[in-house]
Structure 1
Amino acid sequence: MRKPALIALAMMAATAAANAPALAAGDAAAGQKIFNKCRACHVADKTTNRVGPHLADVIGRKAGSVENFKYSDAMKTAGDNGLTWTEENLAKYMKEPKEFIPGNRMAFVGLKKDQEIADLIAYLEAAGQ
């Protein structure tokens, strides 16, 4: 009797997880403040590279594809293998950059709070318009 109950519980949990929103709604104004953690290496509102590539229009862009920026082999390979910067992929990368793309050169260890990630993505979307 316990086995069917466990299976049913697992199925309900899987259904709930599948129906959960991918990201919380982000606040671009809050994200602009969070972007201060990124500003030493990146810009969001123009196409000038710094230590890191510019992030203007990053959403929808193929990973490792900004012209005149020297990416790590890992980042170039990720892009060549089809990685595109969707909101979901950016969220995963912002949370654990070294785990999401092992061998990338970004020194930042990641953001731990999901709301900060959602806010930063909202800011990058707004800055790219």
Structure 2
Amino acid sequence: MALALAGCGSGHDAASDQIANGERVFQRCTACHTIGQYATDTDGPNLYGVVGGPIGERRPRFSYTAGLKALGGTWDAKRMDRWLANPRGMVPGTTMGFAGLPNPQERADVIAYLSTQGP
């Protein structure tokens, strides 16, 4: 029984560790993206509320590419994973200059973090 209780109260769980790692990985994205609720768009759109939001129209003042607008739908975890793996492979002609995150765990962590940043 002592072993079962040893982890209790440690303040760490897999979900919070994943979110923290996602926040660290997301630092690579801050060269072009902001994440604060009231932050402005920069070279890329502000990503506050991106998970669950519409693709290519979420930030009305940002100039999304025609390919991204044509994709339509919402940013769910599956689509976000595909996008983060290879933006240009998913949407040819995108102006996003990021080559992608090849590591599936890093993508999952970033998606977990982004999911906490919004309504």
Q: Which TM-score tier does this pair reach, normalised by the shorter chain? A: 0.7 to 0.9
Q: Which residue of 2 aligns with 1:5?
A: none
- TM-score, normalisation: structure 1: 0.74
In structure 2, the gaps of 5 or more residues are: 1-14
4+ residue stretches of structure 1 with deviation over 2 A? none
Identity %: 36
1:56 paired to 2:64: no
Matches of 1:41 and 1:128, distance apart in 2: 18
- TM-score, normalisation: structure 2: 0.80
Of structures 1 and 2, the larger Rg is shown by 1
In structure 1, the gaps of 5 or more residues are: 1-24
SS at match of 2:116: helix
- The structure with higher relative contact order (CA 8 Å, sep 6+) is 1
Q: Which residue of 1 aligns with 2:95?
A: 105
Matches within 5 A, 1:41-120: 41-47=32-38, 48-65=40-57, 66-79=59-72, 83-120=73-110
CA offsets 1:14-52 (integer angstroms, 9 cap, x no match): xxxxxxxxxxx7811001110111001111222421100
Question: Considering only aligned residues, what root-mean-square deviation do their CA atoms show, in Å?
Answer: 1.5
How far off its partner does 1:77 sit? 1.3
Matches of 1:29 and 1:109, distance apart in 2: 23
SS at match of 1:127: coil
